[in-house]
Amino acid sequence: MIITKEIFYGKMKLATVGIAGLGGLGSNVAIALARTGIGKLILVDFDCVERTNLNRQQYLLSQVGKLKTDSLKQNIFEINPEVEVEINNCKLDAINIPIVFENVDIIAECFDKADAKAMITNVFLNELAHKGKKLVAASGMAGTGRADEIKTLIQNENFVLVGDGKSDIEDEPILTASRVGIVALFQANQIIRWIIGDD
């Protein structure tokens, strides 16, 4: 599909993406989309930046102890002040997900824990997919496996899963900036493809 720069950035500017979790996945997805000219981001997390986050997350040493939402909003502003950023400091659950993400086009599932990933996926499939929203989720990025093991698996037209589908933090306790970053950028790439109509 051939698309001009004007059309590409015009479509990006009109899109709103919600990011559920602002850790190694979410912070990288947000920065990638900000650099690509996304119109609006809704950033959701309840946690603060920790020193141990800095090996794979898009925060600074000076932001340790501060809310991830506030810190990431500031970092995005430093990169692209034209991005509209809405922050929500809460723990997402089955009740508030449809409300928090009511006005987004696409949701990026960027949680750490398997139960949270399953929960948001179930809520999406049961309550949001029929409204035309889309979800890109992630599963399998732990350890130091090969980059080419990371795949984009299309579940249906509204739901895509990114990862190697097997590595688990319980079995492989190492999380590297490179491997987590690869998955996050695959997620961001899928979001961009959806926005411009290339998928």
Question: Which of helix, strand or coil describes residue 9?
Answer: helix
Is 10:37 a contact under the CB 8 Å cutoff?
no
CA distance 161 to 148: 15
Residue 90 has pLDDT above 60, yes or no: yes
- The band of 141, judged by pLDDT with boundaries at 50, 70 and 90, is confident
CA distance 30 to 87: 12
pTM as predicted: 0.94
Query: What pLDDT does residue 14 have?
Result: 98
Tokens 């190694």 locate to 24
Report, as an integer, the average pLDDT of 63-78: 98
Residue 56 identity (one-letter amino acid): R
Report the Cα 35 to chain-centroid distance in Å.
14
Query: What pLDDT does residue 140 have?
Result: 76
Is 169:112 a contact under the CB 8 Å cutoff?
yes
Look at 71 and 150; give whichever has higher pLDDT.
Answer: 71
Exposed/middle/buried for 71, CB within 10 Å: 0-12, 13-18, 19+? buried
CA distance 76 to 133: 24
CA distance 160 to 152: 7
Query: What pLDDT does residue 147 have?
Result: 74
Report, as an integer, the average pLDDT of 165-180: 70
- What CATH code is assigned to 5-196? 3.40.50.720
- The band of 176, judged by pLDDT with boundaries at 50, 70 and 90, is confident
Residue 195 identity (one-letter amino acid): I
How do the domains of the chain map onto residue ranges? 5-196
β-partners of residue 142 are none
β-partners of residue 86 are 42
Sorted by sequence, the CB contacts under 8 Å of residue 165 that are 6+ apart come out as 139, 140, 151, 153
